[in-house]
Amino acid sequence: MIIRGIRKQGRITVTIDGQSLDVYPSQQVRHHSQEFNWSYSGSGPAQLALAILLAAGATKENAITYHQAFKSEVIAGLKEDAFELDVDIHPSGALWKVKSVKALDVAPIAH
């Protein structure tokens, strides 16, 4: 699964395999934050980790069980404002393998 995140001028967008990732479904499972985030171990990264595991096919119970570990091991380490993460996630949500991480070059917004 290819996950792209862009944090630019106060806006955060995340896509999985080219499809926009909505925060709302993961908030219905467990509400950590109003929005996604990454690069630290807080509520926004926890919400993103939960949403990714759910998108990978994890049950609600497994996503709740494993999302904090996924956050700590993967999401908190994404240090760029724009990234592309290629990761394999087992449908149980219990196992993952990061294949690659790269920074994305995002052009500034023209005014």
What is the tens place of the pLDDT at every residue in 33-80?
Answer: 999 999 999 999 999 999 999 999 999 999 999 999 999 999 999 998
Is the pTM for the entire model greater than 0.85? Answer: yes
Burial 78-107 (b: 16+ CB within 10 A, else e): bebebbbbebebeeebeebeeeebeeeeee
pLDDT of residue 110: 54
Q: Where are the domains of the chain?
A: 2-103
In whole angstroms, what separates CA 11 from the centre of its chain? 15
On average, the pLDDT of the chain sits at: 94
pLDDT of residue 26: 97
What sections of the chain are H helices per DSSP? 23-29, 43-55, 60-73
Q: What share of the chain is helix, strand, coil (3-state, %, to 5)?
A: 35, 30, 40
Residue 49 structure tokens? 């980790």
pLDDT of residue 105: 85
Query: Across residues 95-105, what is the average pLDDT?
Result: 94
Asked if the model's pLDDT at residue 22 lies above 90, the reply is: yes
Asked if the model's pLDDT at residue 111 lies above 70, the reply is: no
Residue 107 pLDDT grade (very low, low, confident, very high; cuts 50, 70, 90): low
Residue 16 structure tokens? 């999985």
